Amino acid sequence: MSRDVDVGVILAHQAASGAYPASPSFSQYPHAWLRDGSFVAYAMDRAGEHASAARFHAWVARTVLAFEREVEDLVAGAASGIVPDEFGFLPARYGVDGSWRQDGWPNFQLDGYGHWLWSLGEHVRLARTPPLGRDLGRAADLVGRYLGAFWHEPCYDAWEEFRSQLHTATLASVHGGLRALAEMRGDDAAARTGRDIAGFVHDECVSEGRFVKHVRNPAVDASLLWLSTPFGLVSERDPLMRATVAEIERVLVVDGGLMRYAADTFYGGGAWVLLTAWLGWYHARSGDAARARACLDWVEAQRDAAGSLPEQVPTSRSHARFLRHWTERWGAVATPLLWSHAMTIVLRLELEGLPVPTGAAAR
């Protein structure tokens, strides 16, 4: 299917504020996660929809700056050894109007703020925009100070789980964001902290020759793909990364799609569309067009009659009891998930620059 379909889904659901709701028709996902939205904005920049991405980044800047005083207090407190309580940190998700949704959701995640800085840097590069204006610059600097103060604080992972851990993919996300900030703003402190994080990951998040889910947990998680693609803590061809991807594929690829992690039970623990596209993105960047196209073929097979892509689909290993539990509690799985459409755009565009493998049809 043409990427125009995926671009159309995203544009149709972008809020007037510029925010990208995660899945507008799903009961739990009408809000805007910085995590999802940052990758959606990146996909739109890759597709040439720079105005859409710019509206998102302007929304993030307005939203963050509305809490500037709170962030400055948090950073100042951290310098004195003060750690806020669970709901004192900035949230992972906001209302599309920029409101802070203080509703008990597991909201303390640092990865989305790193994602946003990285995505903003990619917007500057891809849209060839001038240096950041006043509000974007202030917001980026503020987020950079926040991440610098708390990167070593245990928080929820990308899936809003495991609050008490230091997660490898989260650390890579913060590293990628701070490196982007250093490039955009000449921020030496951000560059130093990014290097510190990379050193920490190599010291504490490696076991048996590969990266691990979080400190002292030897399992793998699909989000470990982020270490190389796109955050560049290591390259796609780094031996540690190759070994990590080999283990991810051995443990987490089921029926052609990629699970989040082996013990996942959310909606039965299915295969995620966006993560399978991400695996394809990794393979495309490492030069393996055949495996990247196989991922795209699997993704395309998950569309519904309207062309929408879900968050995940059941597999032969899904747990029936948990699939039933979540369906009865929240309804059918989120569809469309804008992040799924975004990663499909990215994978298609990565493949455009690669030769078609022998025996594969051009798309």
How far apart CA 192 and CA 199 sit, in angstroms, is: 11
Active site residue 85: no
Are 277 and 344 in contact, with CB atoms under 8 Å apart? yes
Q: How confident is the model at residue 22 (pLDDT cuts 50, 70, 90)?
A: very high
pLDDT value, residue 359: 41
Contacts of 139 (CB under 8 A, 6+ apart): 60, 61, 64, 65
**What sign results for the dihedral spanned by CA atoms 113, 114, 117, 121?**
negative
Is 321 within the bounds of a domain?
no
**Proportion of the chain above pLDDT 70, given as a percent:** 96
Active site residue 249: no
One of 73, 160, 183, 249 is an active-site residue; which one? 160
How far apart CA 198 and CA 124 sit, in angstroms, is: 24
In Å, how far are 188, 244, 299, 340 from 7, measured between CA atoms? 37, 31, 16, 11
CA 247 to chain centre: 20
One of 45, 122, 157, 247 is an active-site residue; which one? 157
- Is pLDDT above 90 for 266? yes
Is 313 within the bounds of a domain?
no
Mean pLDDT rounded to a whole number for the chain? 95
Are 59 and 98 in contact, with CB atoms under 8 Å apart? yes
Q: Which domain holds residue 122?
A: 3-250
The whole-number average pLDDT for the span 83-90 is: 90
Active site residue 160: yes
pTM (predicted TM-score): 0.96
- Is pLDDT above 50 for 113? yes
pLDDT tens for 277-290 read 999 999 999 999 99
Is 239 within the bounds of a domain?
yes
pLDDT value, residue 107: 85
Is 21 within the bounds of a domain?
yes
Is 102 within the bounds of a domain?
yes
Return the structure tokens found at 14. 């972008």
Is 325 within the bounds of a domain?
no
Is 190 within the bounds of a domain?
yes
- Is pLDDT above 50 for 362? no
**What sign results for the dihedral spanned by CA atoms 160, 275, 225, 49?**
negative
pLDDT tens for 149-184 read 999 999 999 999 999 999 999 999 999 999 999 999
Is 50 within the bounds of a domain?
yes
In Å, how far are 175, 225, 245, 254 from 297, measured between CA atoms? 32, 19, 19, 14
The total of structural domains in the chain comes to 1
Are 55 and 14 in contact, with CB atoms under 8 Å apart? yes
- Is pLDDT above 80 for 205? yes
pLDDT value, residue 1: 63
pLDDT value, residue 86: 84
In Å, how far are 28, 61, 112, 237 from 356, measured between CA atoms? 40, 41, 34, 21
- Phi first, then psi: what are they for 112, rounded to 5°? -60, -30
51-65, 97-111, 206-220, 279-293: lowest mean pLDDT where?
Answer: 97-111
- Which helix (H) or strand (E) segment is 321 a member of? helix 320-330
For residue 66, give the CATH number of its domain.
1.50.10.10
pLDDT value, residue 355: 66
